[in-house]
Structure 1
Amino acid sequence: MPRISRGLIDGSVYHVINRGNGRQVIFHKDKDYQAFIGIMEEAKVNYSVKVYAYCLMPNHFHMVLMPEEATHLSKMMQWLMTSHVRRYHRHYGTSGHIWQGRYKSFLIQMDNHLLEVLRYVESNPLRAGLVNSAKDWPWSSYHELSGKRQRLWIDEIPIELPRNWGEYVNEPMKKNELDKLRQSVNRQSPYGSPSWQIQMTKELGLESTMRPRGRPAKMGEMKK
C-alpha cells in the first residue's frame, strides 16, 4: 500500500497516533508513562511544537499538536519515537520493533471540529473501559484542559473550550461522530466540514484519503 502524503501546513493543528507493534503493551507501569511524558516535554521544546492534548493508553498514544513550521512535526515525532525506543530497550533489556511503524496524522479544522478531536482523545480511556470518568485516568491532558491542574507544558487551546469540560468529555460520543473521526485516524484524511475537507484534500493532494476503499465496480456490477 503506497504511503499517504503528510499534507502539512505551517501553524496548523494535527492529530497524531501510533500503536505498539502487533498492538503490544508499551506502557507497563507508571514509570513508563512518566518517562514518555518527559520525552514529550523535551521534544516540544526542541522542535517548537505546541501540545494541545494527549492521552497515553497501554498500547498506543494520541496527541494533538501544532508545529510552528510544518516540517517540525515529522522531526519531532522521529526524535520522540527514537528516544523512547532507546529508553525502552535500555530499561527492559530488549531489542527489535516497539512501535508498529511510522505514526499516523491528520489535519484538523480549527473550529468545533478541533473540540471534537480533543474530546475524542481524552475520552479514550472511557471507551476502552479502563475508567468510569476521564478524570480517573492520570495519563492524559484532561486535568490541564479542565482547569484541575496547572498547565506546566500543555499549551493554551487557540479556541474557547466548553465551560464544563468534564461533562463534555464524559458525555458519550455519537456513533456518526466516532465513525467520521476513526475514518480520519485510519485514512489520515483531514477532519472538518465537508467543504473544508474538499478544499484541503485538493490543496494538499490528499484526494485518495477520501475515496471509498476496495476495487472499483465493474460495468456489469454497476448495472445490477
Structure 2
Amino acid sequence: MARLSRLTVPGYPHHIIQRGNNRQPIVASDLDRETLLDLVAENALKHHVALHAYVLMDNHVHLLLTPETGDGVPQMMQAVGRRYVRYFNDLHHRSGTLWEGRYKSTVIQPEQYLLACMAYMDLNPVRAGMVAQPQDFAWSSHRHYIGLAQDRRLTPHALYWGLGNTPFAREAAYAEMVRAGLSGSQEARITGSALHGWALGDAAFVAELQKRTDRRVSEGRPGRPVSRSISPG
C-alpha cells in the first residue's frame, strides 16, 4: 500500500517525530543537542511556525508545532534536516543518512489533546528510564513550563496561558497535570496517531477535517492518498 501523504493544517498544532536511521543516535554531545534545537527554533521562526514544546532524546526528537501556512512545517523540517546532517557528519567524520525516512506528523485538536501531548512528551524520558522525574531531564521544554528555566525558543500556546492568571499559577497547574500523568487510553491514542499520521481529536474534529481533504485523516478504508495541504477556513 502506498504511504499516506502528510497532512498539514495551518493554525492547528502538529505533533512531529523524527527518528535516527535504524534507531541510531542523532546526537552525541550537548553541543549537538544545542545545535539541533537552535536550528529548529531558527527555522521555525523563518517559516512562520510556532514551537510550543519539544523533547530531544538520544535517537529521536518530538516537536509540537503550529504553522501559519500549509508549507511551513515541511519547509522547516527540510531545512533543519539538511543543515543538521551536514553539521553532524562534518563534526563526527561520518557520511550518509542520519534520519529514518520521513518525519512523522499528526494534526491535533488543541482543546482535547494539546496539553496532554505536551505532558506525553515531557514524560518520554521517564518512560524510557532515563530520569525519575521529567524536571530532571535537561533536553525538553518541561522545565520552562514549570518555571525552572527560561527557553527563548518556545512560543507557549494559548491553552497554556489559560491555565492560570499568573506565571506561578500556570506553572503550578501545568506541573500538577504532568505529575498526575496520562491515562492508558490517552497514551495509546497519542502514540497511535503519531505513528500512523491519523488526526488526533474527537469524532467531530476528525469528521470536519475529512470534509476538507481527500487524504484520509483516520484509520479506515484504504484508498489512493492525495498530497494536499488544507487551510483553516
Q: TM-score when scaled to structure 1?
A: 0.89
Distance 1:204 1:168 in 2: 34
Residue of structure 2 in register with 1:175 after alignment: 184
> What are the within-5 Å matches in structure 2 for residues 33-52 of structure 1?
33-52=33-52
Deviation at 1:203, TM superposition (A): 2.2
| Higher relative contact order (CA closer than 8 Å, sequence separation 6+) | 2
Q: CA RMSD in A?
A: 1.7
Q: Which residue of 2 aligns with 1:72?
A: 72
User: What per-residue deviation string (whole Å, max 9, x for no partner) do you get for residues 96-147 of structure 1?
Assistant: 1111011110101120311111111111101111100000000011112222
Instruction: Name the larger-Rg structure.
Output: 1
Partner of 1:210: 219
C-alpha separation in 1, matches of 2:88 and 2:70? 28
Q: Find 1:194's aligned residue among 195, 203, 207.
A: 203
| Bigger mean CA deviation after superposition, 140-149 or 98-107 | 140-149
The structure-2 alpha-carbon separation of the partners of 1:38 and 1:182, relative to structure 1 and needing over 3 Å to count, comes to same
Matched pairs, number: 213
Tell me what 1:59 maps to.
Answer: 59
How do 1:22-171 residues align onto structure 2 when only pairs under 5 Å count? 22-159=22-159, 160-161=162-163, 163-171=172-180
Ranges in structure 2 where 5+ consecutive residues have no aligned partner: 164-169, 223-233
| CA–CA separation in structure 2 for the residues paired with 1:207 and 1:9 | 13
Q: Match of 1:168, as an amino acid?
A: M
Question: Is residue 23–residue 59 contact of structure 1 (8 Å, CA) maintained in 2?
Answer: yes
- The question of whether the paired residues in 1 share the 8 Å contact of 2:56 and 2:139 is answered with yes
CA contact (8 A) 1:189 1:206 kept: no
* % same residue: 30
Q: Could you list the runs of 5+ residues in structure 1 that have no partner in the other structure?
A: 214-224
Deviations 1:141-189 (A, max 9, x none): 1112222222412002121246422232233322111111111011101
User: Which position in structure 2 is the counterpart of 1:184?
Assistant: 193
CA distance in 2, matches of 1:111, 1:208: 18
Shift of 1:76: 0.4
Q: Is the 8 A contact 1:7 1:205 kept in 2?
A: no
- Distance in 1 (alpha carbons) for counterparts of 2:122 and 2:215: 27
TM normalised by structure 2 equals 0.85
Q: Distance in 2 between matches of 1:40 and 1:8?
A: 18
What is the SS of the residue equivalent to 1:31?
A: helix
Q: Which SS does the other structure have where 2:84 is aligned? A: helix
Query: Which stretch has the larger CA shift, 149-158 or 62-71?
Result: 149-158
